[in-house]
Every structure is written in structure tokens, then in C-alpha cells.
């Protein structure tokens, strides 16, 4: 019998601080990636945009550059924590190339732009499973991506019985 050639796919998995995205990554590794694949898994984290701070706060004091630098460092530390956690989820899968990308901006826009730029074959995202009302107020990254990316998208909903902490390192808060 002739051997079937396996095509390499570029699969983008959007990860964030939430348990839902790590569940989606795990689900993808178990159900989408085969052991014999030559797939490239791209772990994508979008740093939320830095809030615009006025030069003077409500009390008339200027924000110090130390405070702004601390906020930027915190955002970078969170990104590093999320990517480390996602890489650890992938470490036991042989024959799969894992790349990481960190973008800056609104996660909805960052994910769509990266997927298009990489010509991804599949986008995998987790979902909180919010109802209509919450989704209307908070927005839905998965819904936005489903409407705007050109490749197939897999939206993975975490069962209510599953739950683990993604970034339990409380040293980031200090």
C-alpha cells in the first residue's frame, strides 16, 4: 500500500490568561494534531493595548515614568507567563514544531491580522461561553474572528467541570 503524504499545516492557537484558551490548546493537541503530522503550531498571545494615561491624573499629580515602566513590565511578564504555560502544554507532543508570537493591540484585531499574514490553515480559539447579553457588552473575540478570518476556525468551549489556573504565579501581582 502506498504511503499517504502528509501536508504541513500552520495552525494558530490563540492563548491568553484564561483557562478556556489552555483548554482549547489541549483539545487541539489531542484532536487536531496527529502524531505523524508535520504541522507547525503557532501560539499567539495578544497583549491588550496600554491604556492612554493623561499627563496629570485627577489629583493634579503627574504620572511618573517609573509607574508607566512598571505597567509595561507587568504586561510583558504576563505575556511571558502565558507563553511558558502554553509551551509546557505542547512539550510532550513529538514531531510538531511550535512557534510563539506576541502581538500588541486589541486581541480581535491582532489574531485576525496574524492569521492572515501567516496564511494559516486553521485558527483555534477558546470561548468563555457567555450568553447574548454579556457578549453584547464585553465583545466576543471568537465571534469577531469567526466573522473576519479567511481560514477555518475551531471554537472550543470548555466544559464546566474542567478548570485549572493558567497563571497562578502571584509574584506578578506584587
Both ends of the chain: CA-CA distance in Å? Answer: 61
Q: What is the model's pLDDT at position 173?
A: 37
**Number of neighbours of residue 41 by Cβ within 10 angstroms:** 25
3-state secondary structure of 151: coil
Q: What is the pTM of this model?
A: 0.77
Close Cβ partners of 68 (under 8 Å, ≥ 6 residues apart): 53
10 strand-pairing partners = 40
CATH placement of domain 10-51+79-167: 3.40.50.620
Per-residue pLDDT of the chain (174 residues; tens, 9 = 90+): 455 455 688 999 999 998 999 999 999 999 988 777 788 999 999 998 776 555 555 555 556 677 778 888 888 999 999 999 999 998 877 778 899 999 999 999 999 999 999 999 999 999 876 555 555 544 588 888 989 999 999 999 888 775 544 444 433 333
Residue written as cell 504586561? 75
pLDDT at res. 131: 56
Q: Single out the residue of 14, 1, 4 nearest to residue 112, CA to CA.
A: 14
Task: Using alpha carbons only, give the angle 27, 112, 130 rounded to the nearest 5 degrees.
Answer: 55
Instruction: Give the CA radius of gyration of the chain.
Output: 18
Amino acid at each position: 500500500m502506498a504511503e499517504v503524504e502528509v501536508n504541513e499545516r500552520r495552525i494558530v492557537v490563540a492563548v491568553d490568561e484564561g483557562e478556556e484558551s489552555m483548554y482549547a490548546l489541549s483539545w487541539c493537541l489531542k484532536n487536531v494534531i496527529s502524531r505523524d503530522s508535520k504541522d507547525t503550531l503557532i501560539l499567539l498571545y495578544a497583549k491588550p493595548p496600554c491604556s492612554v494615561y493623561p499627563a496629570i491624573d485627577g489629583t493634579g499629580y503627574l504620572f511618573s515614568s517609573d509607574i508607566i515602566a512598571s505597567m509595561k513590565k507587568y504586561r510583558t511578564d504576563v505575556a511571558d507567563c502565558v507563553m511558558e504555560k502554553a509551551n509546557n502544554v505542547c512539550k510532550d507532543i513529538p514531531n510538531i514544531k511550535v512557534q510563539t508570537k506576541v502581538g500588541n493591540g486589541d486581541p480581535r484585531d491582532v489574531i485576525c491580522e496574524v492569521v492572515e499574514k501567516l496564511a494559516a490553515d486553521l485558527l483555534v480559539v477558546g470561548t468563555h461561553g457567555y450568553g447574548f447579553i454579556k457578549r453584547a457588552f464585553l465583545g466576543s473575540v471568537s465571534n469577531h474572528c469567526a466573522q473576519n478570518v479567511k481560514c477555518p476556525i475551531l471554537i472550543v468551549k470548555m466544559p464546566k467541570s474542567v478548570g485549572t489556573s493558567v497563571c497562578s504565579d502571584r509574584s506578578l501581582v506584587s
